[in-house]
Chains A and B, each alone.
Chain A
Amino acid sequence: MVENVKELLKLHEGIKHEVYLDNENSCIVPQEVVDAMLPYFNKTAYGNPTLTHKPGWEAFEVIMNSFKKISKYIGAKNLEEVTFTPSETEANNQAIMGSCFAQKSRGKKIVISEIEPINVLQVAEMMQKYGFTTQKIPVNNEGFVNLEKLKEAVDSETILVSISAVNNEVGTIQPIKEAVDIVKAKNPHALFHTDASDAYGRIPLNVQNLNVDLATLSSYKIQGPRGMGAMYLKSGINMERILEGQIGTQKLWPGVENTPLIVGFTKASELAFENFEANTTKMRTLRDKLVDGIFAELDDLRFNGPKGDKRSPDNANVSILRAEGEALTIELSLNGVYISSGSACSRRLLQPSHVLVAIGRHYSEAHGSILMKVTRAHIEEDITYVLKVLPAAVNRIRGIVGSTGVD
């Protein structure tokens, strides 16, 4: 199978323009972030920050500065409220499992939205094996959580509520403050966790103003290195560590801190927050140009998620009817445009994106969906190129579909 990949890559030779829009699943790390990381592999601060020697103290200093910066960007009270984790997946696992194990004497109920990312959804479902129950709150057709249902669901048994600040697939900005108030009014002991991986660096986010107890951050989603994330935990909240090992500078994550990646994440955060308004305005402008262009060029489309200021500025999600998503991603790849799709296309599972199904999309609409996220690094020419390539790709795939499957 690996030999096939070589051949597949050969088919891409001669591509003149490449546009990476699959920032949901990975990212291009900007050169200045890479440059910021490089000295920490072998020039300085390569020590273990808990040890008593120069490289260790250097690492300690660098990591403490990173704690300071990240906690400032999210409005945490102090830097001890932040834990660096190897990606947002670990942060979400720690937040959910750790809360449940620490709070189990209070109750056994977890409440999440039905459009949580897989690393929240599956962790919450997995906790059922340990005697916890999970209730999923429905969303409307723009992905907004039903706050009435949330209010009904939270009871004296509820120990944790987890709702993403921004949905990773359809960009819905949830009314987190309102949701927290509702939850705390029903049960002041219930913890509130928000996966802010898609909010951090794209919408204003202040954990104290929102009054959340836990939050998850992701490095690659703001063009930092992959394999790095963070968890915010409000001071004074009881939490159990889910990983055991040598405890270093952090109480909740054992192991040797990955200084270069922490520096990269911090640098990416600096770049995102230095010119926050300009960055997000740019993303919104490029995203709107992309979406408007697609709708001007093609018929039979559905726009997935909310429009306007209740949508994250980077997110574009469109269902292309009479076309299947996987075929589209390949066709676009051969033309240098890299996106992902909510199509299922796997034997016997046949499950398309649970988010699109939850917002009421038909399965065929979900199979034909494409997800694109712009970054501050994109330029207008990138979008112009996508708008040249995408309609041609859709028309070719629709040509193969013909009248098949048309209701």
Chain B
Amino acid sequence: MSRMPLPYNPKIMDLFRNPKNLGKMEDATVVAVAGNPACGDMITFYLKISDKDIIEKAQFESYGCAANIATSSIVTEMIKCMSLEAAWKDITWKRVVEEIGGLPDVKFHCGVLAVGALKRAIRQYFTQRNVEAPSWLPKEHTFEEKQALEEEELAKTLSKRLKPEAEKKS
């Protein structure tokens, strides 16, 4: 059971009820996914990026709790019209938590995962076009990207731990 009392603030509730920039984007320049349904937490970001490396449009889909939906939604709003460089540098999970008016402690990872997905999308934009990464893009993974990776690794372990009975499910 979901046992944690989670007094979400009005902003989170508003974005949960009326998410902004929701849905698949058909003409996305880049699509990035972070998290795994096995962890109850997964985000897809769709970015439309101009020739001048400006984020023209951002949309999302989210499998997750209210905090996951709300943080994904607010990230799409925060990065709109930003350059990739600015988005990379300015959008941290702490800023996301701030922007959303605070998250319950146990939900910080939702903000982390949303930013992890964004950073992954930006990195992917350069690798998929086979161009040299700009100097502002560090080679090492950031905290948020590492956390996303860690969660995905955990999902693999969780799947492995499933018993053979799982196959007999109705």
Q: How far is the CA of A330 from the CA of B65 in the complex (A)?
A: 9
A299-358 contacts to B, CB under 8 A, are 302-303, 322, 324-327, 329-330, 334, 340-348, 350, 352-353, 357-358
Chain A: CB-nearest residue to B33: A404
Task: With both chains docked as a complex, state the minimum distance between the C-beta of B22 and any C-beta of chain A, in angstroms.
Answer: 6
The reply to whether A324 and B63 form a contact with Cβ atoms under 8 Å apart is: yes
Instruction: Establish whether residues B166 and A361, one from each chain, have CB atoms under 8 Å apart when the complex forms.
Output: yes
- Which one of B2, B19, B62, B151 contacts A404 once the chains associate, using CB atoms below 8 Å? B62
Contact with B along A1-23 (1 / 0, CB 8 A): 11011011001000000000000
Do A360 and B7 form a contact, CB below 8 Å, given A24-B1, A403-B61?
A: no
| CB-based contact A326/B42 at 8 Å | no
Q: A347-B105, A360-B169, A405-B37 are in contact. Are A341 and B1 (CB under 8 A)?
A: yes
Distance from B142 Cβ to chain A, minimum over Cβ atoms (Å):
18
**In contact, B2 and A360 (Cβ under 8 angstroms):** no
Answer yes or no: A235 CB below 8 A from chain B CBs.
Answer: no
CB distance from A356 to the nearest CB of B (A): 11
Are the CB atoms of B39 and A350 closer together than 8 Å?
Answer: yes
Contact A362 B63 (CB under 8 A): no
**Cβ A367 vs Cβ B37 within 8 A:** yes
Does the CB pair A360–B37 fall under 8 Å?
A: no
Instruction: List which B95-124 residues lie within 8 A (CB) of chain A.
Output: 104-109
Of A303, A329, A344, A345, chain B has the most CB atoms within 10 Å of the CB of: A345
B112 to chain A, nearest CB (A): 9
A365 to B8, CA, bound (A): 25
Which A residue sits closest to B19, measured CB to CB?
A400
Q: Does the CB pair B66–A326 fall under 8 Å?
A: yes
Contact stretch, chosen from B50-58, B79-87, B130-138, B157-165: B157-165
Residues of A within 8 A of B61 (CB): 400-404
- With A325-B2, A326-B2, A362-B162 already in contact, the answer to whether A7 and B9 are too (CB < 8 A) is yes
| B168 & A141 in contact (Cβ 8 Å cutoff) | yes
> Are B10 and A7 within 8 A (Cβ)?
yes
**Are A405 and B63 in contact, CB atoms less than 8 angstroms apart?**
yes
B18 to chain A, nearest CB (A): 11
Which residue in A4, A322, A357 is a CB contact (below 8 Å) of B63? A322
* Chain A residues in 8 Å Cβ range of B23: 402
The complex places the Cα of A141 from the Cα of B163 at a distance, in Å, of 10
Select A341's contact among B2, B42, B68, beta carbons within 8 Å: B2
Measured CB to CB, the nearest residue on chain A to B14 is A11
Contact with A along B19-54 (1 / 0, CB 8 A): 100111000000001001111111110000000000
Contact B165 A141 (CB under 8 A): yes
With the chains together, A40 CA to B158 CA distance in Å? Answer: 52
Using known A-B contacts A8-B13, A360-B166, determine if residue A329 contacts B64 with beta carbons closer than 8 Å: no
Docked pose: A353 CA to B2 CA in angstroms: 9
CA distance in complex: A204, B108 (Å): 47
B108 with A360: CB separation less than 8 A: no
Known: A8-B7, A330-B66. A140 touches B165 (CB 8 A): yes
Cβ contacts under 8 Å, A405 to chain B: 36-37, 42, 63
Chain B residues, Cβ within 8 Å of A2: 7
Task: Answer whether residue A363 sits at the interface, using C-beta atoms and an 8 A cutoff.
Answer: yes
Per a CB cutoff under 8 Å, which of A303, A329, A358 touches B170? A303
Tell me if B154 and A360 are in contact (CB < 8 A). Answer: no
**Chain A residue, CB-CB nearest to B164:** A360
List the A side residues contacting B165 at CB < 8 Å: 140-141, 359-360
Q: Which residues of B contact A163 (CB under 8 A)?
A: none
Identify the 5 closest CB pairs spanning chains A and B, nearest first. A402-B61, A360-B165, A364-B37, A405-B37, A363-B38
Hey, which bits of chain B sit against chain A, CB under 8 A? 1-2, 4, 6-10, 13, 16-17, 19, 22-24, 33, 36-44, 61-66, 68-69, 104-109, 151, 154-155, 158-159, 162-163, 165-170
List the interface of chain A (C-beta within 8 A of B): 1-2, 4-5, 7-8, 11, 24-25, 138, 140-141, 302-303, 322, 324-327, 329-330, 334, 340-348, 350, 352-353, 357-365, 367, 371, 399-405
